[in-house]
Homo-oligomer: A and B are copies of this chain.
Amino acid sequence: MKLFYSPGACSLAAHIALEEVGAKFEAVLTAIGENRQRSPGFLALNPQGRVPIVIVEGCVLTELSAILLYVDRRWPEAKLMPDDPWDFARAISLMNFLASTVHIRFACIWHPERFTPIKKGYSDMELSARANLLRDFAIVESRLPNTGWVGCERFSLADMNLLPLYRWGWRVGLHMEQFARYTRLVDEASRRPAVQRVLYREGLASLLAPALVLS
């Protein structure tokens, strides 16, 4: 199995999931900072030009949520998602909110050209996205537990999914420590050996504080 990732991108969540279950996989660096996700070789694998993707027996799987749920199905003994249908669905609801709402705000800031070719509109779009992000993260915060993990006693796919977005919040200048439960969760996640191994492999010093972020 191969995972194509870029340091600190949302692929971080897939990277952590594979490390948590003890999967044997090759992590293939596809640095967005060098636009490697737009190289002809990568576009042949994923015409959308986005990480993460995984390749299993020559077949390509795109979309972070799909990769995370594949890891859950392939390693069911790891219990990466709650068993109870309602708790499972609540975790999926949070993951989908992150993918289809929160992630899009960052796309508006970092890739406004995906939305409009008119460059003079970019700064207004960024301001709007930043305001929306504070509202979105307040919704995220309201769904998080005071202790433990999202929806179950175990570190879940939803928890993993939260990690890169917290760091992105800092990167765009939001004071993420205002979200106390989110900060507590990211702090506890950061202490896990599997998470530490992935942060080291991706060259990231920390998820928590902007001053400590290497890339």
Contacts and interface: CB of A to CB of B under 8 A. Distances in A.
Contact of A86 (B70, B85, B115): B70
Interface stretch (A33-41, A120-128, A173-181): A120-128
B93 A73 contact: no
Contacts of A63: 92-93, 96-97, 100
A70 B96 contact: no
Q: How many copies does the complex hold?
A: 2
A100 B97 contact: no
Contacts of A103: 100
A62 interface: yes
Contact of A96 (B90, B99, B116): B99
A209 B63 CA distance: 30
B48 A66 contact: no
Interface in A79-131: 85-86, 88-90, 92-93, 96-97, 99-101, 103-104, 108, 114-118, 121, 124-125, 128-129
Contact of A116 (B66, B74, B88, B124): B124
Interface in A128-166: 128-129, 132, 139
Given A63-B97, A93-B61, A93-B66, A125 B132 contact: no
Interface residues of A, number: 42
A47 interface: yes
Given A48-B97, A62-B93, A70-B88, 7 more contacts: A63-B92, A66-B96, A70-B92, A74-B85, A108-B115, A115-B125, A118-B124
Interface of A: 47-48, 56, 59, 61-67, 69-70, 73-74, 85-86, 88-90, 92-93, 96-97, 99-101, 103-104, 108, 114-118, 121, 124-125, 128-129, 132, 139
25 contacts: A47-B139, A48-B101, A48-B139, A56-B86, A59-B86, A61-B86, A63-B100, A64-B96, A65-B93, A65-B96, A66-B90, A69-B92, A70-B89, A96-B99, A99-B99, A99-B100, A100-B103, A104-B104, A108-B115, A114-B132, A115-B128, A116-B121, A117-B124, A121-B121, A121-B124
